[in-house]
């Protein structure tokens, strides 16, 4: 995919989202923001989610946030290095061994492009860490939370089609500059 902008916005070293170090990222967990598609104001954008990550009373974080606003390039924000573990799945293995990719949904979101961008980043990380497609999982797998709810409900795209998109990207010679690996 062309025209993806990667933005490094790495959280400070004293951030409580840095719960520990991963031995090796072995899974990728797919998330989606909870608020509704048509009803969620476009102010619930990257800046809003970034502000939440500044809450020092919470250990809940994630590594990447995907945003595809209408009439703007797709963006991938990175908040944590890929070897840091954080609380994003409600499950010890999910937290300690999986990279979390959150995707913004609001009424300014180009849903198909956002899903494609999330699939693309997933394929990039699979290649980098030798993660098999079986280990690309919805958040729901870990603790039964209904996330990514619209993807699991098949709105715009269903889970199997998402996995097929990931496989298709994986089969190609893809690259993405700007990710901070550790």
Residues contributing to the site for Zn ion (CB under 5 A)? 31, 139, 147
Nearer to Zn ion, 16 or 90 (CB): 90
Nearer to Zn ion, 45 or 95 (CB): 95
Q: Is 104 exposed, middle or buried (0-12, 13-18, 19+ CB in 10 A)?
A: buried
Alpha carbons 33 and 42: distance in angstroms, whole number? 12
Q: From the CB of 148, what's the least distance to Zn ion, in Å?
A: 7
Question: Burial letters for 27-48: b for 16+ Cβ neighbours within 10 Å, e otherwise?
Answer: bbbbbbbeeeeeebeeebbbee
Q: From the CB of 144, what's the least distance to Zn ion, in Å?
A: 11
Nearer to Zn ion, 31 or 165 (CB): 31
Q: From the CB of 2, what's the least distance to Zn ion, in Å?
A: 28
Nearer to Zn ion, 113 or 139 (CB): 139
Alpha carbons 100 and 177: distance in angstroms, whole number? 19
Q: From the CB of 71, what's the least distance to Zn ion, in Å?
A: 27
């Amino acid at each position: 995919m062309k025209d993806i902008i990667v933005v490094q916005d790495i959280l400070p070293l004293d951030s409580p989202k840095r719960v520990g170090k991963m031995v090796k990222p072995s899974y990728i967990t797919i998330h989606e923001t909870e608020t509704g598609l048509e009803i969620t104001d476009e102010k619930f954008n990257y800046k809003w989610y970034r502000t939440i990550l500044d809450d020092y009373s919470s250990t809940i974080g994630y590594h990447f946030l995907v945003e595809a606003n209408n009439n703007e390039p797709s963006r991938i924000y990175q908040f944590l290095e890929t070897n840091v573990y954080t609380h994003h799945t409600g499950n010890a293995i999910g937290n300690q061994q999986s990279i979390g990719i959150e995707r913004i949904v609001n009424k300014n979101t180009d849903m198909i492009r956002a899903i494609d961008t999330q699939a693309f980043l997933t394929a990039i990380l699979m290649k980098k860490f030798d993660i098999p497609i079986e280990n690309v999982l919805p958040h729901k797998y870990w603790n039964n939370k209904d996330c990514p709810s619209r993807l699991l409900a098949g709105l715009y795209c269903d889970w199997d089609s998402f996995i097929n998109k990931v496989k298709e990207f994986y089969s190609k010679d893809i690259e993405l500059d700007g990710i901070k690996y550790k």
